[in-house]
Structure 1
Amino acid sequence: MASADLRDELTCSICLNIYTDPVTLPCGHSFCRTCIGDVLDTQEGSGAYKCPECRAESQERPALANARKLRNIAENIRSTHPEQQEAGIPCTYCIQSPVPAAKTCLHCEASLCENHLRVHSKSAEHVLTEPTTSLENRKCSVHKEILKYYCCEDATCICVSCSLAGEHRGHQVETLNEASEKKKVKLRNILQKLTSQREEAEKRVQSLEELRRQVQGKAAGVTERVTALIRDIRKQLEALEKRVLSEISRQEEQVSLRVSDLIRQLEIKKEELSRKMGDIEKLCDMTDPVTILQGRESDREDYCDTEENTQRHDIKVHDVGDLDVGLISVTLHSGLAGIVTGITKRRRVPEASDMLLDVNTASDMLLGINTAGRYVSVSGDLKTVSGSRINQRRPETPERFQDYPQVLSSRSFSSGRHYWEVEVSESGEWIVGMTYPSIERRGGQSVIGNNSKSWGLWKLNNKIYYMLHDSKSIRLPHSSSCHRLGIFLDYEAGRLSFYELCDPIRHLHTFTAAFTEPLHAGFWVFWGNSWVRI
C-alpha cells in the first residue's frame, strides 16, 4: 500500500507515468521536463502561462528547477519495481529484459535505449525521432523513403524523390520543421481565440449563476413578504368577521327583547279584551230590557279603546325596530377600509406606492467596514452601527473616516428609485443620510451634511431634528416621535426624502439636487447609546 502511495506521488499528472527528468514550477508542482515543456509551448502566445495542476498564472515563461532528489527516488522506484514500470516502447536490441527506448531510427526502423543510442550511427540518413512503433507513417508510401518535406500546395508530407521527380515536383515545399513551426503559430492563434472564447463563456456562466442566485433570493424574499401580508390580512378579516357578527347578534338580541316585551303587553290586553267581550255577550243574551238598559258599564268611554289608544299601540308595534343594516354595513366597510389603509401603509411613502412587494430593500444594503471610523462598532451582519468609546484600531486606509464616528454603505445607487428603512436609537445623537464616495475622510468637511457632497438628517439628544447640507442646518418643526425612518431616493429626479414611520406617517424633509456621483447611505453615531440599524 505504501509503495502504491509512493508511486502515486511520483507520477506525472500529464503523462501519468513515473517522472522522467522531473522539474518543478515556481508554484511547487513537478512534471516530466518534456511533458511540461510541451504544455508551455502550447500556451505560448496565449498571454499567460498556467500550471496544469493549480492553474497558477505567470506572464513570463516560468523557470524549470531541476528536482534532483525527486529524480533519484523515481529512478530507484523504476529499478526496484520493474514490474510497475510505465508502459512504453522497448529497445529493439535489449532482448534479455525490456528497456524503454530513448529514440527510434527511421532508417534502421529500430528503437534504441540510451546505451544502444550511444553506439548508433550518427550519419544524416539515420533520422532519429521520439520512440514510436508507427514507422509506416514516417515514410513515403510511394518511394519508401523518409518524409523530409511538406508540400504547401497539396498539404502533405513528402520525401526527397517526391519533390524532385514525383508528382510534387515544382511545388512549393518546406522542411518539416519549418512547416510544423508555421502550423504551431496558427494553432497557438486558434488556441488564444479559443481561450478567450472559453473565458468569455465562463464569465457569462458566472453572470447567469449570479443572476439566478439573485432571482432565487428575491423570489424567496417576495414569497415571504406576500405570505406574511396575506396571513396578516387573513387575521384582520377574521377579526372583522367576529366584530360584524357580534354586532348582528347584538342587534338581533335587542330587537328580540323589544318584541318579547311588546308581546307580553299585548297578551295582557288580549285577556282584558276577552273579559270585556264576555260581559257584553252576556248582556246581548239577556231578554229583560230593564236589565240590559241598566248595564251602564258598556257605556263608559274607557270600555273600548279610543282611536288614539289604538294608534298608540300600532306605533309601538312599528317602533319595535329591525336590524340596523346600515350600521352593520358601516361596521363592515369601515373595517375593510381599515385593512386596506393598513396595507397601504406598508408601502410606507407615497413615492414608493408602486413598490408594495419590493418596498424593503434594506436586505440588499450592508455597511462597508472598510469605511468605518475607529470609534464606531459594526455588527457581524454588517447591519448595525453604534458609537463606541473604545478605539477599534482598524487599519488606516484611504476609504476610512479618520476623525469622526461614521460609516458608509458598501452599496451605492447611480440610477433609479430606491427605498429603505432604518431603526434608530431613541436616545443619543445620530445622522442618517447619503453621500458621494468622494467625500473627505479627514477634517470637518468629512462630517455628513457639512459639505456639498452629502445630505443628512441629524437628531439631537433633545429629540430636535435638523436637516444638514453644504455646512448649513435647517431646524425642523417636528420633534422625534418614533424610532423608525423611511428614506426614499429618486436619483434621476434628484429627490431625497425622509419620513418618520409613525401612525400616521410623517414627511420630514425632501432634498432636491442634481446628483452627479453614485450615492452611498451614510451614518454618523455619537459614542454612548447611539445606534442605527438598516
Structure 2
Amino acid sequence: MALDDELSCPVCTEFFNDPVLLSCGHSFCRQCINDNLSLSIFRKCPVCQQASPQPPVPNLSLRDTCEAYLREQNTRRESSGGQECEIHGEVIKLFCQTDGKAICAKCKRHEHERHKTQPLQQAIRQRKGNLKADLRPAEKTLWSLQNGAAQHNKISKFIQYQSQMTERSIRMEFQKIHQFLKKEEESRIVALHEEEKEKGEKMEKSIREGILSLSGRVREVEEQIEDDDITFLKNYPRILNRAKYTLPDVELSSQTLIDVPKHLGNMKYQVWEKMKDICPFYPVILNPNTSLPDFSVSDDLASVTSCSRRPDEPNAFPQHRSRMVLGTVGYWNGVHTWDIEVGNSRHWSLGVCLGRSRIPITQSLTPANGFWGLRRDGDSYRLIDFRMSKVKMRGNPELVRVKLECGRDRRGMGQWLVRFFDARSDKFIAYIDEVPGSELFPFVIPKDQSASLRIVPADIILTVDKKLGFFDRHITVILICLCVFMIIFMILVWAIQRCKTCTSG
C-alpha cells in the first residue's frame, strides 16, 4: 500500500502517467502539473508551494519504476487468477462469514481477527450447492411449463373448456329467444291473415248481395220498358226511381279495413312484455368460478347442485377450495332481497359472507371467518352467528327469503341486518344484527347429493310513463285555489249579511 502511494501523483492520486520533475524535487503527471501551473500566476508547486520558474523536466527513473511495478502487478494478478486482495496484494484464500466477503491472510490477522472465517473454496462449494437447491423448484416449474404439466396449462385448458361451454349455453339461450320470437311472429301473421280473410269475406258477401240486388232491378226496369205505351207512361215515375237506385258507398273504417294499429302498435313492447316468461330476472347470479368441481351450476347461473364430477371433465380448482358458491355481485349499502328454493333438501347453508379476497380458502362457517347465515342439518336449524343460535321452526320451509338491510350503529358506523323468512307463508324465521358494514356476497351451499338450491326469479313490473295534461299536472294547485275562493266568497257573504243586520238595527 505504501509503494502504491509513492508511485501515485499527488494531484490525481493515480499511478504516474508520463511523470515530470519540478525544481523543488516533487514529481507529477505531465498533464496534471501543466493544468495546475496554468492556473497559478507564480508557478508554485502544489505540494510545497515553492516557486518553480524552470519548466518541468521528464522523470525517466520514476517512469521506468512505475511501468515495472504495473507489469509485476499484472503478472501476479494473472498468475493468481485475479484473486488478489486489493488492500494487501496477497492471494485471497479465506471467506469471512461475519461480513460475507472474501479476504486474504493479512485481512484475517488485522480487520477480521475475531470474525468467523472458512476456506474460500469451501464457502464457494456450499453457496453453489445452496443455489442449485433453490433453483430446483424453478427448474421443475420450467419443465412443467415446457411439457404441459404445470397448473398454468391446466388453467389454460380449463379456460378453453369454459369458453366452449359458455358459447354452447349462449347459443342455446338465444335459440330459445329465436324460437319464441319466431312463434310470436307466426302467431301475429296468422292473426293478420285471419282478419284479412274475415274482412275479405265480408266484402265479397257485400259484393254478391249488391250484384243480386242491382241485377234484379236492371231486369225489372228492362222488362217494364217493353210494356205497352200507356202502361209504360203510367209507371214511368216509379220505373225512373228504380232505375236511379244504386248501392250506398262503402264506409271506410277500422271495421271495414285491416286494423293496422292492432297489429303494429307497440308491437315490440308487447313482445318484450311477453318475453318475461322466457327471460326471467334473477336478483342473484351465481359465480361458477367460486365453486368446486363436484358442484354443478346451471346454465342460467341460478341453481347449484352437489354431484359427482366426471373424471374426464377439466378441473382448474384445487380440491381444498371451500365448498360453496358465491353470488357474482357484492353489496355495499341499500336493501336487497332474494328467495332461494331449497325444496325438500335436509342439509344446506345459505346467507352472506365477505368477498373471496377477504376470507381464507378453507374455513369453517363462522362470523369470525366472515360468514352469517342460516343452516339446516336434518331437522335442526341454526343461525350462523357468534352464538350459533338454534332456531325453532314450525314445519320446513321450501322457499327461504334473505333480506339484507344496511343501517348505522350508535357510533354512526355502517352495519348490516340479515333477516330470514319463509317466503311461501311470509313468516319471519330469525335475524342476525350487527354484521360489519363491509361488502357482502350471497352464498349457498348444497349438501344433499343431487338436491339443488335455486335462486327464484324476481317479479318484474313493467310501467309506462304517461304524459299528464295541464289539469292533471296542476290538480293540487287548482284545488287549493278553489278552496281559497270558496273561503273568500263565504267571508264576503257573511260580511254583507252582517252589514244588512246592522243597518236594519
TM-score by length of 2: 0.42
Higher RCO structure, 1 or 2 (CA under 8 Å, sep 6+): 2
TM-score by length of 1: 0.40
